[in-house]
Amino acid sequence: MTKNDKEQENLSNWKKSFEKETKKSDAEDFYFSTDEEIDIKPLYTKEDLNNLSFVEPNSLPGSSPFTRGPKASMYTNRPWTIRQYAGFSTAEESNTFYKKNLESGQKGLSVAFDLPTHRGYDSDDELVKGDVGKAGVAIDTVEDMKILFKDIPLDQMSVSMTMNGAVLPILASFIVAGEEQHVGRELLSGTIQNDILKEFMVRNTYIYPPEPSMKIVADIIEFTSREMPKFNSISISGYHMQEAGADNVLELAYTLADGIEYVRAALSKGLDIDEFAPRLSFFFAIGTDFFMEIAKLRAARTLWSKIMKDFGAKKEKSLILRTHCQTSGVSLTEKDPYNNIVRTSYEALSAILGGTQSLHTNSFDEAIALPTDESARIARNTQLILQNETGVTKTVDPLAGSFFIEKLTDEISKKSWDLIEEIESLGGMTKAVKAGIPKLKIEESATKKQAKVDSGDRVVVGVNKFKNPKEPKIDVRVIDNDKVREDQINKINKVKSIRDENLVNESLLKLTNAAKENKNLLEFTIEAMKHRATVGEASKALEEVFGRHFATSLSVSGVYGKHFDKNEDFKNVSKKIDSFGKKHGRRPRVLVVKMGQDGHDRGAKIVATSFADLGFDVDMGPLFQTPKDVAKDAIENDVHAIGVSTLAAGHKTLIPELIDNLKNIDPKSKIIVFVGGIIPEQDYEFLYNNNISAIFGPGSNIIESAEKVIELIIKKNN
């Protein structure tokens, strides 16, 4: 008997055993289809490695196409960098937090800025008073940046900054802060995210329209290539796409398509591809699909190597995809939150087995509030345990050669490549983004995922199955928004009182003229920040030329409802909604909104489309509205209810303002207000005392929430 005959006999025997154990006549009955529509078989053999399209099973780490890792030695020589993303309140508080983490084993800094900073507003702007210091650190001037890195040697510490909208004044402030710490720009190391395309797709912390925003990206790549040899000019991010609901194929394809567009932008500056390509980096989310996430990172390196070869890159370093990863925020649950420690741990392991270069592990309480010192310590120690106690650093790419992993890597590569070619056929990602195509596909994916959870097709432990009858009480970090804003305003006023106004105005005028004349904007922004212009002033100087971008809200329909064709609960809620419509001559109307500068609109979009599928008449408010704007729209459009989505901790400021504005405009208004999102339970009483009718935390079932809302509307309108 030949070796092949023996293998066929063994496979035949396995099939017989499988059928006997499962009492099924065909193993294909056990195929599982993923969110990415990849069929997972119950058994993989070496035959699955025949005719692979992208994966070369015999490739080695550190060699093109880098499927097995960007370096030959990987973690056996040096483990991945522990880079915990953090920032809150004032620069002083964040600085203290950073130094504690560095003393406890963290190897690099990753800075989270608050939403006003992202959107190019100063803390004293009335538009942002509910957001200052809530979801990141407030930075208004170089003085704040200097405080942020006080006693942290910038010539020794790698600093990653998640910034896209106000990327020019923030990077300029970092450069000036370094110089005033006697660290020249040529010695600064780290990464600025500078990935504006994904902002137009999902995150929404943009300032200017797509074309001038792409110019800013190219300016930064050009400047850093010339003057900052240790600094990475862009981190091309898929993270926020997955957080917004993208499956792994969408995340991978659109991230690499963004990368292609940024390479073109840099080439348009006359740069040689091998001059800047080695300092492009990537940023991926790591969700709960353990093996798919591993395959995604391996596929990312494989495809990027091909892409860069197609661009004509010649240096090996230019072909390497380097990535930072962060465990999923959207997989964290408010219910039974200690389960999140387990979720984060295996997500982290997935990133490690996939070959990430650095990693952030989320804290277990982030579905409730900003992490406490204790929860952040657990998150950091998760990585230390994985590095020191599991043996994962002892060998390179330990899953290579797995029939399943290699086949899965090839499958996700093929599907992603098809999407990349689709984007290219549209003229590239900038044009696709303007047409709204990626955004709609991601929203459709998000709605499908929510429907699977609500219908029970996907189990989330502690949420829709194996519920904890006694929810634990969790201590949460509380930010005094009013105090932070007051402190920031005082600091702004102090800076303005001692700066030379003539020099500031002159430098801001130069910046505006540079935008008109198509010059490199980072050089002129550095000059303005050096003279102590504020982030808001620098942003407005460019806004005079570029204008502000306002997105058109598009939404999917029918995606949620088709998962519930035979669901009795869905039908019962729809009947209540229909009954109300017949009695009152019109369907119950709901306005779904975000307020303040929080651009995370996944939850709002899912509520809007699912409520519409149930039968509500739904209006979706534009992003970045003030409470006054929302109240005015609600009354003018005669809605029955307002649904507020909040993720950025501004609820204690913005929601009472909304209620007050409703009363001021129409004291007899019957509009009910309900809230969904990240709200600590300790704030519920405050909101109910401010006339909120219902609160739905993360993981709330949409159908149950809709039933509560229609019952409240019926009661109010009887």
- Catalytic site includes residue 688: no
**Catalytic member of 121, 206, 239, 254:** 239
Helical pair 535-546 and 501-516, crossing angle rounded to 10 deg: 30
Asked about 598 being catalytic, the answer comes back as yes
Q: What is the rounded distance in angstroms from the CA atom of residue 668 to the CA atom of residue 521?
A: 52
b/e for 620-658, b at 16 or more Cβ within 10 A?
bbebbbbbbbbbebbbeeebbbbbbbbbbbbbbbbbbbb
Computed from CA positions of residues 63, 68, 69, 71, in that sequence, does the dihedral angle turn out positive or negative? negative
Which own/partner pairs from 652-656 qualify as long-range (CB within 8 Å, at least 24 positions apart)? 652/481, 652/683, 652/686, 652/687, 653/129, 653/130, 653/481, 653/482, 654/130, 654/595, 654/596, 654/627, 655/595, 655/627, 655/687, 655/690, 655/692, 656/690
Select which of 600, 605, 651, 652 is catalytic: 600
**Active-site residue flag, 240:** yes
Residue 270 neighbours by CB distance under 10 Å: 8
Q: Are 30 and 14 in contact (CB under 8 A)?
A: no
Does residue 360 carry a catalytic annotation?
Answer: no
Our answer to whether residue 540 is catalytic in this structure is no
What is the separation of C-alpha 667 from the centre of its chain, rounded to a whole number of angstroms?
40
Q: Considering the candidates 134, 146, 198, 240, report the single residue annotated as catalytic.
A: 240
Please report the sign of the dihedral spanned by the C-alpha atoms of residue 493, residue 497, residue 499, residue 505.
Answer: positive
Q: What is the residue-wise DSSP string for 322-379?
A: -EEEEE-STT--SSSTTHHHHHHHHHHHHHHHHT-SEEE---TTTTTSSPPHHHHHHH
Note whether 684 and 334 are within 8 A (CB). Answer: no
The tokens describing 484, both together, are 């932070």
**208 catalytically annotated:** no
Antiparallel, parallel or unpaired: β 109-112 and 159-162 = parallel
Among the options 598, 601, 619, 683, which is catalytic?
A: 598
Q: Which of 15, 44, 48, 85 is catalytic?
A: 85
Residue 471, C-beta contacts closer than 8 angstroms, at least 6 positions apart: 335, 336
Choose, from 594, 640, 651, 652, the residue flagged as catalytic. 594
Are 576 and 583 in contact by the 8 Å Cβ rule? The answer is: no
Catalytic residue numbers read 85, 239-240, 594, 598, 600
